[in-house]
């Protein structure tokens, strides 16, 4: 349905998106995962025809949309990362404005506004000014404005940044329902849990490139021969860390507060080795946990960094 | 285009106070600054010369002849105190054959008073020169006075179009100047909505809709034009029909000039938008530069006061000086359309150039 072919973008000689290939089939929910600065928003801007690529192509049903984006824009709803609303107008007035902009027929506009307000759960507050809304409510209106014209494809760029857990849950549930009703979804986030919860397939981006892609199961299989171990210590000791990294089979050791996060090959005697070096350097192990691999672990495995680095 | 226009209107309907305030300010400022030039006034005069009393008596009578103004002899200290306290705008210090204006401000009233006082002193100087060689000076003066009152020849001054020469009304000029100044602010702030909506990401969101960029610009600029034109038209209608200012016989042409000026200022504001980095910089720079334009264009001064070629050239780059020319010609000299074609064409030229460069700069910055 929607596809990018060798999509690249350079700004002042610096490559921010590098030959990205991805596709969305009709009715799919696809995640685009990566840390801040990975090139997700630039990729989305090019897919949605806001930004022209330096090279490569974006196609909708095998037709390039670079030179003629009108066909794509008619079926596309984009929820930008930033709140793009008139702060001094009410939620209703904002929806009316965007409904008119998207050419929703006059006789349907009122009913579409009310339906959309219902979907995002702010029907009762529709006359409230946006500037008086909480972050979560603004995000909901931000999403609502992209739904007014019943888009076939919905692109959401980090729609849950900076909001409370309740609003986040509401938005995720809303996106899931829209997808179940047939809307194709491209969802970008640096929250692994959201993508795991919502998406059928995932693209992982870092430094402008797609470094992994596939279904959740396919991505997790990358770690099928590895264990993830969380160890909580009473203190962090440099010599202990050096020794831990030197244990045979340990691929990565990440430090977070007084805890360390170890990825190591399976069937190795990592635990006994850890106990041994903790005695050697007088470091006390306070807690110990073997983790089920997650996409977060996949990302760490692929990049050596966590998503929020 | 229409949704963008309506969204801008909805924003102003939510908060109309700025526009209403500016309209009121333009009317109040005009009335305050111009009423003094029209109403009869009392001007204090004094002399510190040796024959002070005689000088004061002589000039008090001469200055008060044939004018609405009353020249009142006052103690020198009192005059200076009144000027210092702001209770008098201007006073006249009399010398034997000369005068000095004493003032602490620079208002149109002072120019009006100065014009009258200079005329009286020049006429008296000519009479003095004529009688100084005569044997019978008293009789000579009387004879001249009689001739002046009932001259052998009268001069009928006419304009080039053959119509009687009209007295120049500075109040009308100031009214136009203040009205257009306020309009420039309102228009600029509305054009700045393009930048504001870019910063607040609304612009990008609208780009992703079926609305073309041409229609987007048209929506913003048409709104700025409409608000600017309606504001100036309302103010001039109030002056013409409520406050009884004489704006000539061709009010329709006055509105035409206003429309062309408004379009031209929308273009100049667009050009300004192209040069600044964001809406905040616009808010900082635009209000600093706009008040200078009427000063450079001489909008607050009698025609011809600004004679420096560099200033005249800079003034001509802005639509204000051309709009003032056309409006003053229409209001004071009842000019016809043919007579105001040149300033109108110049304003249209400024519009086309400014709009073209402005939109290009804004687009280049975006990309």
Least confident of A145-149, B77-81, B93-97, B223-227: B93-97
pTM higher than the cut 0.90: no
Decide if B87 touches A, using CB distance below 8 A: no
What percentage of chain B carries pLDDT values higher than 90? 27
Strand A201-206, strand A209-215: pairing: antiparallel
Chain B closest-CA separation from residue A153 CA (Å): 13
| CA-CA-CA-CA torsion sign (B11, B14, B16, B17) | negative
Q: Is B1 on the interface with A (CB under 8 A)?
A: no
Average pLDDT over chain B, rounded to an integer: 85
The minimum CA-CA distance between A286 and chain B, rounded to whole Å, is 49
Residue B312 banded pLDDT, cuts 50, 70, 90: confident
Question: Nearest CA to A172 among A113, A120, A95?
Answer: A120
**ipTM confidence:** 0.73
The 10 Å Cβ neighbour count of residue B259 is 17
User: What pLDDT was estimated at residue B158?
Assistant: 67
Partner-chain contact A89 B7, CB within 8 Å = yes
Chain A contact present for B18, CB below 8 A = no
Query: Is residue A272 classed exposed, middle or buried when 0-12, 13-18 and 19+ CB atoms within 10 A define those classes?
Result: exposed
pLDDT band at B367; cut points 50, 70, 90: low
| Chain A residues with a Cβ under 8 Å from any Cβ in chain B | 48-50, 70, 73-74, 76, 78, 80, 82-89, 93, 97-98, 100-103, 129, 145
Closest chain B residue by Cα to residue A71: B210
Task: Out of B10, B200, B211, name the one closest to residue A101 (CB).
Answer: B211
- Between B136 and A87, where is the model more confident? A87
Domain A2-220 indexed as CATH 2.60.120.260 = no
Q: Is B11–A89 a contact, with Cβ atoms under 8 angstroms apart? A: yes
Q: Which residue out of A86, A93, A94, A151 would a mutagenesis test of the B interface target, given it has the greatest number of B Cβ atoms within 10 Å?
A: A86
Alpha helix segments (H runs only) across chain A: 40-47, 70-75, 91-101, 106-120, 135-147, 165-180, 192-198, 216-220, 238-245, 270-280, 295-303
Whether residue B23 is predicted with pLDDT greater than 70 in this model: the reply is yes
Tell me the domain boundaries of chain A.
Answer: 2-220, 225-292
**What residue in B sits closest to A97 (Cα-Cα)?**
B3
- A-B C-beta contacts closer than 8 Å: 62
| Overall fold of domain A225-292 | Alpha-Beta Plaits (3.30.70)
pLDDT at A92: 94
Nearest to A178 by CA among A208, A148, A212: A148
Distance separating alpha carbons of residues B234 and A279, to the nearest angstrom: 88
- Kindly give the confidence (pLDDT) of every residue in chain A, 309 residues in length, as a single tens digit, with 9 standing for 90 and above: 889 999 999 888 888 898 989 999 999 999 998 887 888 889 999 998 888 899 999 998 888 888 888 888 888 999 988 899 999 999 999 999 999 998 889 889 999 999 999 888 888 888 999 999 988 889 999 999 988 888 999 999 888 888 888 888 888 988 999 999 999 999 988 787 888 888 889 898 888 888 888 887 787 777 667 777 888 999 888 899 999 888 888 888 888 888 898 888 765 678 888 888 888 888 898 888 877 667 777 777 777 766 655
Q: Of B111, B264, B283, which is closest to residue B195 (Cα–Cα)?
A: B283
């Amino acid at each position: 349905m929607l596809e990018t072919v060798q999509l690249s973008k350079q700004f002042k000689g610096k490559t921010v998106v590098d030959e990205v290939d991805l596709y969305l089939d009709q009715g799919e929910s696809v995640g685009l995962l990566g840390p801040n600065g990975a090139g997700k928003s630039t990729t989305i801007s090019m897919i949605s025809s806001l930004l022209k690529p330096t090279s490569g192509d974006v196609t909708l049903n095998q037709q390039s949309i670079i030179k003629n984006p009108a066909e794509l824009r008619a079926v596309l709803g984009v929820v930008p990362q930033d709140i793009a609303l008139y702060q001094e107008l009410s939620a209703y007035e904002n929806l009316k404005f965007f409904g008119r902009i998207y050419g929703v027929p006059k006789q349907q506009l009122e009913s579409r506004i009310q339906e959309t307000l219902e979907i995002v759960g702010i029907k009762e507050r529709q006359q409230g000014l946006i500037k008086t809304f909480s972050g979560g409510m603004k995000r909901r209106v931000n999403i609502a404005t992209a739904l007014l014209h019943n888009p076939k494809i919905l692109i959401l760029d980090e729609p849950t940044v900076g909001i409370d857990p309740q609003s986040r849950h509401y938005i995720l549930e809303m996106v899931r329902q829209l997808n179940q009703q047939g809307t194709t979804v491209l969802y970008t986030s640096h929250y692994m849990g959201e993508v795991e919860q919502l998406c059928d397939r995932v693209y992982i981006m870092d430094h402008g490139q797609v470094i992994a892609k596939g279904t959740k199961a396919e991505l997790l299989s990358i770690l099928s021969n590895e264990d993830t171990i969380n160890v909580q210590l009473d203190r962090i000791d440099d010599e202990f860390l050096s020794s831990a990294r030197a244990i045979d089979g340990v691929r990565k050791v990440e430090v977070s507060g007084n805890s360390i996060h170890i990825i190591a090959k399976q069937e190795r005697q990592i635990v006994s080795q850890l106990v041994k070096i903790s005695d050697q350097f007088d470091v006390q192990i306070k807690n110990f946990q073997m983790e089920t691999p997650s996409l977060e672990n996949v990302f760490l495995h692929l990049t050596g960094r966590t998503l929020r680095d | 285009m229409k949704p963008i226009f309506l969204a801008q209107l909805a924003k102003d309907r939510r908060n109309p106070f700025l526009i209403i305030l500016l309209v009121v300010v333009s009317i109040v400022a005009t009335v305050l600054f111009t009423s003094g030039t029209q109403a009869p006034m009392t001007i204090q005069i004094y002399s510190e010369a040796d024959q002070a009393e005689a000088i004061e008596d002589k000039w008090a009578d001469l200055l008060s002849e044939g004018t609405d103004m009353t020249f009142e002899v006052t103690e020198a200290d009192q005059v200076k105190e009144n000027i210092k306290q702001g209770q008098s705008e201007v006073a006249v210090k009399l010398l034997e054959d000369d005068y000095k204006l004493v003032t602490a401000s620079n208002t149109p009233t002072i120019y009006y008073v100065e014009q009258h006082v200079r005329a009286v002193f020049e006429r008296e100087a000519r009479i003095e020169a004529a009688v100084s060689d005569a044997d019978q000076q008293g009789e000579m003066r009387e004879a001249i006075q009689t001739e002046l009152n009932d001259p052998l020849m009268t001069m009928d001054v006419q304009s080039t179009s053959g119509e009687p020469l009209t007295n120049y009304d500075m109040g009308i000029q100031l009214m136009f100047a203040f009205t257009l100044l306020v309009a420039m602010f309102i228009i600029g702030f509305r054009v700045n909505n393009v930048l504001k909506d870019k910063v607040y990401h609304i612009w990008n969101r609208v780009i992703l809709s079926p609305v073309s960029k041409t229609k987007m610009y048209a929506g913003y600029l048409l709104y700025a034009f409409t608000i600017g034109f309606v504001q100036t038209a309302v103010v001039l209608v109030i002056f013409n029909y409520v406050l009884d200012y004489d704006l000539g016989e061709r009010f329709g042409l006055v509105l035409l000039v206003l429309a062309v000026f408004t379009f031209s200022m929308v273009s100049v504001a667009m050009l300004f938008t192209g040069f600044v980095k964001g809406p905040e910089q616009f808010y900082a720079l635009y209000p600093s530069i706009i008040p200078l334009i009427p000063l450079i264009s001489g909008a607050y001064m009698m025609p011809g006061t600004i004679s420096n070629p560099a200033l005249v050239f800079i003034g001509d780059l802005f639509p204000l000086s051309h709009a003032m020319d056309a409006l003053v010609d229409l209001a004071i000299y009842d000019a016809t359309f043919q007579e105001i074609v040149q300033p109108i064409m110049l304003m249209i030229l400024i519009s086309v150039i400014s709009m073209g460069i402005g939109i290009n700069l804004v687009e280049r910055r975006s990309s």
